[in-house]
Amino acid sequence: MEAFYLLWSIISTTLTSITLSLLLHFRRLLRHSPPPTSVALYDGTVWHEQRRPVHHSFKYHVRYAFIDLDHTSHPPPDHLTPQQARDITQTNGPVFLLTIPPSVGYEQNPLSLYYCYDEVDSTICLNKCIAEVTNTPWGERVQFVFNPNSDLIAKPLHVSPFMDMLGSWNIKTSVPGDKLMVNITVNHPTFGNYFTASLTANKISSSSVEHAVFFWLMPHKVALWIYWHALKLWWKNVAFIQHPRYETPSYKKDAVERDRFLGCCPAFATQINNHDQVGQNRQKDRWFKWRDAKWPWC
């Protein structure tokens, strides 16, 4: 059933995207919409490297929108509002969303980031970020708060059928300006520091850019890269790992407990299964929020 649904989803998305692409062309001929001033554009590269159990690396071109959520006239659907982000991070300044917008009826966003600023004495500085990770093809999502300078988070989501749930994510991001950097490394109790993903991007002038054209088929290209390199890992005989909901239904609670352990004992980040080493002085639990898969993946 799942294989049939995946095939049907690919066919229907293709037909919808072709139709909407034709309509996009005709709409551009009829009128030209000025680019919104609340959106900055970034053009860059995503790089992945997996070093164990086999070596596999790739990079691809990507385009992101950096949206001022407080001033946009068209807030992106299926995302947090700026006030929700402020309430979650306990900040008081502007909130920006880094994301790949939907294009011709399709959305594919492995990672979106909310940049939450604080305003103190007329000075605005980046305080906290919220990561929004969505897996493929299930469409599950986890949101969590992290320190943009550098933070260690217990892996909370089954993002790939070729990686288990053990390990932790070390994530950091620069303050978005003319350049933007996001870096994630994965520590594993067996493989060590075995995976790195990074985004490096440059801000471009958007005064004369039609956003619908700038992001045309961008989500489709990201999905194509995900499926293509999943096939390559399968071809390299990397073990296929079932979704944890089948064997470990408590994986979300387990992630919260492992994250609590990391917050107490960061020096033992790779020993995430040894809960006996957790001290009595525990930090406040990190904010996590999950969204389950929809039919037929649930």
The structure tokens listed for 119 are 């305003």
The structure tokens listed for 277 are 């080493």
pLDDT score of 3: 64
Strands (DSSP E) along the chain, which ranges? 39-50, 56-68, 95-99, 111-120, 123-134, 141-146, 151-154, 168-173, 179-188, 192-204, 288-291
- What are φ and ψ of residue 107, in 5° steps? -130, 135
pLDDT score of 23: 66
pLDDT top residue among 199 and 293: 199
pLDDT top residue among 14 and 96: 96
Report the alpha-carbon distance of residue 137 to residue 235 in Å, rounded: 19
- Least confident segment among 74-78, 130-134, 286-290, 294-298: 294-298
Is 167 in contact with 160 (CB distance < 8 Å)? no
> Which residues sit opposite 63 in a β-bridge?
43
Position 30, amino acid: L
Q: Which residues contact 218 (CB under 8 A, 6 or more apart)?
A: 62, 63, 100, 101, 103
Report the alpha-carbon distance of residue 130 to residue 83 in Å, rounded: 13
> How large is the average pLDDT for residues 82-87?
97
The structure tokens listed for 178 are 């003319």
Residue closest to 272 by CA, chosen among 158, 163, 140, 152? 152
pLDDT score of 33: 62
Is 37 in contact with 209 (CB distance < 8 Å)? no
Count how many Cα atoms sit within 13 Å of the Cα of residue 289 in the half-sphere of its side chain: 10
- Least confident segment among 5-19, 37-51, 212-226: 5-19
Q: Which residues contact 148 (CB under 8 A, 6 or more apart)?
A: 115, 126, 128, 129, 172, 173, 174, 175
Count how many Cα atoms sit within 13 Å of the Cα of residue 48 in the half-sphere of its side chain: 17
pLDDT score of 207: 74
- What pLDDT band is residue 281 in, cutting at 50, 70 and 90? very low
Q: Which residues contact 266 (CB under 8 A, 6 or more apart)?
A: 152
